[in-house]
């Protein structure tokens, strides 16, 4: 596995998609434990696959708390 100095894997490795309580998405190396406050959702696999999933579901970049404040 190729690893950068910050411990995250480089392109070509496997990733997972995470979401937090504010409904913000992130990629995370598949073999690392998800950080506190983040839950695995969607596919695991190639970086591009995960990015395509995020692009299809994360249509409003505003955090959940801001959306609720603006909409309600």
DSSP for 2-71, please give it: -B-TTSPBPTTSEEEEEEETT--EEEEETTSPPPTTEEEEEEEEEHHHHHHHHHHH----S-HHHHHHHH
pTM of the model: 0.78
Pick the CATH number of 14-71 from 3.90.820.10, 3.30.360.10, 3.20.20.330, 2.60.40.10: 3.90.820.10
Tell me the domain boundaries of the chain.
Answer: 14-71
pLDDT at 2 over 70: no
pLDDT at 3 over 80: no
- pLDDT for 37-69, tens place per residue? 999 999 999 999 999 999 999 999 898 899 889
């Amino acid at each position: 596995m190729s690893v950068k100095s910050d411990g995250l894997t480089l392109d070509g490795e496997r990733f997972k998609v995470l979401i937090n309580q504010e409904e913000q998405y992130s990629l995370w190396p598949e073999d690392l434990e998800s950080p506190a406050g983040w839950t695995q959702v969607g596919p695991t696999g190639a970086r591009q696959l995960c990015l395509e999933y995020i692009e299809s579901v994360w249509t409003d970049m505003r955090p959940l708390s801001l959306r609720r404040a603006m909409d309600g």
